[in-house]
Structures are given as C-alpha cells and as structure tokens.
Amino acid sequence: MAARPIALVTGGAGFIGSHMVDLLLAQGYAVRVLDDLSGGRDTNLAQHVGNADLAADWRDIRSVAADDAIFRDARLVFHFAGIGDIVPSIERPTDYLSVNVQGTVAMLEGARASGVDKFVYAASSSCYGLADTPTREDHPIRPQYPYALSKYQGEQAALHWHQVYRLPVNSIRIFNAYGTRSRTSGAYGAVFGVFLKQKLAGKPLTIVGDGSQSRDFLYATDVARAFLKAAETPLTGTVWNLGAGNPQSVNRLADLLGGERVHIPKRPGEPAVTHADITKIGRDLDFRPEVSFEEGVGRILDTIDYWRDAPLWEPDSIAAATRSWFEMLSPAR
C-alpha cells in the first residue's frame, strides 16, 4: 500500500485546526500537528489516539528550525497557529507581532527548506477594518488594532516568500468562523463562547449595542473544506475571502439560542456588518458553503456541554476586560 501523503497543521489542536485534522485524515492524509496548546483545550485529538496516521508535537512555532523533522516529506502545510483576540493585542502588541509574524516566518522557512507542494495561510478579514460590504479582496487594508495588523503582516510575509522564493503559497481571509470546539478559555472574545456559557449558567445573553450588527458566520467544517481546496488547486500566490456570504445578526443568533438578554455598550472599531464577497473563491475553487446557520447553531447546541468549563462573562466583567479597548480605539480620545 502506498504511503499516505503528509500534511502539517499548525494550531491543529485548536478550533479550526482540529476540524482541518479531521478532514485531512478522512481524505487519506497522514497528519502532523504542531501546537503549543496556549489557545485552549486538546479535546478533539483524544479521539484519534492510536491512529498511526496522526502525530502531535507540542511546541511554540517560533522555536522550530527550518530543518526540523516535522517538515520532512510534508506535501502540505496549513498554518492556523497564532494568537487572537482584540483586547490582549492592544495590551501586548509585541507578543502578537512576534507570534503571528515571526512565527509565520519560521513556518515559511521550514516549508521552503522541505519543498512543500503548498502552504496555506489562515489570514483574517480584520485586515479590512471598517469595510465597505460586501467586501472584496481588493478592498483597502485598514487594520484597527494590533491583532489585525499582525495577521495581515503574516499574510504579507507568506506572499513575499511566494514572490522571492517561489514557495507555493495561498492565503484565505477568514471572516467569522463558528462551530463545535471553539475556544473555551482565555480572554473575552468571540460571541458564541460567551453566549453558550451564559446559556449554560442561566444568565442573560450580553448583547452589544442593539444586536442588529451582523457577521458573516461560516461553519468550521466548511472552513476546512475551503482550505483543502486552496491546498489542492494548482493556483498559487492567491488571496481569497472566506465566509458564507450571508450575514446573520447577533439578535438572530440570540433567537436561535434562546434565553433572556441584557444590552451592553457598543464598542469602537467594530463594524456594523461583516460580509464576505465570496465570488472569487467560488469561481477559483468551486467553493460553496454547505452548512446553514440554523443547522450549525443546532450542532453547537447538541454539544453545548463542551462550554461548561468556559469562563462566565457578565456585564461588569466584560466592562473591565474591554476597558483598554474603549480607551485605545475611541475616536474621541
């Protein structure tokens, strides 16, 4: 029997990375995971214990040399590893630039040394800032905070390695991924984790502003499918937006989850709408979302106990956690 092709997934113990691991294994790849576990729990990989086609290495991406064995014979590299969230990036910008830019460079150098077939970078739609919608790939870049800047600079590094070293790179700017296994620890962040813990605790859902703001939510398995398509296409040096192309309001999410609500102040620097123009990825990669928002939320509710150990955020603790957000991003300061 021919050996399985090898794929390396950085951040493979994390939210989107773990769904990428599942898809790759199902598609006949042998998978190596590189993750320092700083972003949350490693619950998904436990189901693969004993699988000879999966290996895990718990290290910081910045510590990995270009000639490291983890790159040996790898055909594909999917680079999800990094640190996220807005508020911590405002408070610790050097950490974000170090991990999300220099860490990306370390992975690019390993991929270059080993001669991979494709390097796919997980970029962020936050690079667009307060964008016109639907947002196309040629929209002006206007990062509003260090996280957004660091992810964009990581993307620029990846495209530079393609230009200078002919490394076959593609980049996908993810809009609002959601799904099972989203992070349950760390800083105040994505709306799903906040709401799900509040629902489990019998607390009101904290609605920012009036809840009419909408996000282009795409289910994690659809995100993974898009990344595999970006790896297996002959196209290189390409950037795609990735979303469902069908924004959903926070109020709609609250309706689907159910429960009481409480409103907290709207925050500066947050767009009223995120809406990916997915024409290009549909044309180039024949990508179409498969999981509807209602189905995706239903899947999450079926596994809601996963968020039982998540931090509980309430109006007072949210106000304290986002104080620097208001101080640094307010236009009136």
Please report the domains of the chain, with CATH numbers, ordered by start residue. 6-177+217-242 (3.40.50.720), 182-215+246-272+291-329 (3.90.25.10)
The answer to whether 296 and 178 are in contact (CB under 8 A) is yes
Q: At what angle do helices 103-114 and 146-165 cross, to 10 degrees?
A: 20
pLDDT band per the 50, 70, 90 thresholds, residue 42: low
- Check residue 19 and give its pLDDT: 96
The catalytically annotated residue of 147, 152, 188, 219 is 147
Please confirm whether the linkage preceding 134 is cis (ω < 30° from 0): yes
* 183-192, 296-305, 307-316: segment of lowest average pLDDT: 183-192
Tokens of 222: 């659809």
- Check residue 328 and give its pLDDT: 76
The burial of 13, by beta-carbon neighbours within 10 Å (0-12 exposed, 13-18 middle, 19 or more buried), is given as buried
Residues 20-35, mean pLDDT to the nearest whole number: 97
Which are the contacts of 94, defined by CB distance < 8 A and separation ≥ 6? none
pLDDT band per the 50, 70, 90 thresholds, residue 172: very high
Whether residue 38 has pLDDT greater than 70: yes
Using only C-alpha atoms, the chain has a radius of gyration, in whole angstroms, of 19
Residues 88-114, mean pLDDT to the nearest whole number: 97
- Check residue 40 and give its pLDDT: 63
Nearest to 274 by CA among 71, 130, 145: 130
The burial of 284, by beta-carbon neighbours within 10 Å (0-12 exposed, 13-18 middle, 19 or more buried), is given as middle
* 49-58, 181-190, 194-203, 320-329: segment of lowest average pLDDT: 181-190
Whether residue 61 has pLDDT greater than 70: yes
Residues 128-142, mean pLDDT to the nearest whole number: 97
Percent of the chain at pLDDT > 70 equals 95
Question: C-alpha angle 185/306/311, rounded to 5°?
Answer: 30
Q: What is the rounded average pLDDT for all residues in the chain?
A: 93
- Check residue 248 and give its pLDDT: 97
Give the residue, 66 or 85, on which the prediction is more confident.
Answer: 66
- Check residue 188 and give its pLDDT: 67
Cα(224)–Cα(229) distance, rounded to whole angstroms? 9
Residues 244-262, mean pLDDT to the nearest whole number: 96
Is 178 among the catalytic positions?
Answer: no
pLDDT digits (tens, 9 = 90+) for 260-293: 999 999 888 788 999 999 999 999 999 999 999 9
Supply the pTM of this predicted model. 0.95
- Check residue 27 and give its pLDDT: 97
- Check residue 41 and give its pLDDT: 58
pLDDT band per the 50, 70, 90 thresholds, residue 332: low
Residues 132-153, mean pLDDT to the nearest whole number: 97
- Check residue 208 and give its pLDDT: 93
Give the residue, 281 or 1, on which the prediction is more confident.
Answer: 281
The answer to whether 274 and 215 are in contact (CB under 8 A) is yes
Q: What does the DSSP 8-state code read for residue 202?
A: T
Whether residue 168 has pLDDT greater than 90: yes
Whether residue 47 has pLDDT greater than 80: no
- Check residue 186 and give its pLDDT: 64
